[in-house]
Amino acid sequence: MSQLQVKDLQVQFGGLRAVDGMNFDVEKGEIMCLLGPNGAGKSTTLDLICGKTQPTGGSILFQGTEISRMLEFKRARLGIGRKFQVPSVYKDLTVVENLSVARSARPSVLHSLTSRAVRRSARVKEILDIVGLVNKQDEAAGNLSHGETQWLEIAMLIAQDSRLILMDEPTAGMTIQETDRTAKIFRKLSANHTLIVVEHDMSFVRTVADRIIVMNQGKKLAEGSIQEIEANEAVKTAYLGH
């Protein structure tokens, strides 16, 4: 059984069907890239999976459990993590504090009451090392540069250790070198995690994607490997406009 099964998923905002009958499956350990022109409904699809938006129809099965009506924190506890399109780290907290919030394997009030705010465990050091923020660990996240903020968000997702990670434009604003490093991290992550990645950078998609789904106007336009997608006429039309 696929880890994630999306069936006839639909959401309507007023008169607009932002997602209109999406069907797809994602296998465990796969990196699935979601492409499409602006406004195609990519972010909204991720919102529906993580619980930010309630669907007006269809179903979402995660590891066989129907989650489409569940509260967001319960979905997170089941193992779904999310990176949003706009960077959202806690600016008032330091880098390690951000990581500590993200390390939420035991999110209950009772457990928090009996744990220290920050534990600099070996794993935390390792994660800081992966994203190159060791020297900034006690810096307030608000003082980080744009690139560093992106890294911190990725670090937070690694720390959260979700089975399924939803990434919305993780390399936006990164340099070519940073994008390459992100690609390597993603390949490594896919050993233990499933990833759905929304991305516009085609060279990045080429390096990481196991499979690609192209969306347009809320619908699935095409699905397949990078070669299949690049040869697809409908995709060319959608991107070029005609």
Contact residues toward ligand ATP (CB under 6 A) are 13, 16, 18, 36, 38-44, 85
Q: Which stretch binds other proteins (CB under 8 A): 37-45, 115-123, 178-186, 204-212?
A: 115-123
Compute the distance between CA of residue 224 and CA of residue 121 in angstroms, rounded to an integer. 41
134 is a site residue for other proteins (CB under 8 A): no
Q: Are 131 and 154 in contact (CB under 8 A)?
A: yes
Choice between 38 and 177, CB closer to ligand ATP: 38
Interface with Mg ion (CB under 5 A), residue total 2
Choice between 66 and 138, CB closer to other proteins: 138
38 is a site residue for other proteins (CB under 8 A): no
Q: Which of 45, 68, 100, 171 binds other proteins (CB under 8 A)?
A: 100
Print the SS3 string covering 15-59: CEEEEEEEEEEECCCCEEEEECCCCCCHHHHHHHHHCCCCCCEEE
Which secondary structure element, helix H or strand E, spans residue 211, and what is its range? Answer: strand 211-216
Choice between 43 and 182, CB closer to ligand ATP: 43
Q: Are 155 and 99 in contact (CB under 8 A)?
A: yes
Choice between 19 and 102, CB closer to ligand ATP: 19
Q: How far is CA 58 from the centre of its chain?
A: 21
211 is a site residue for other proteins (CB under 8 A): no
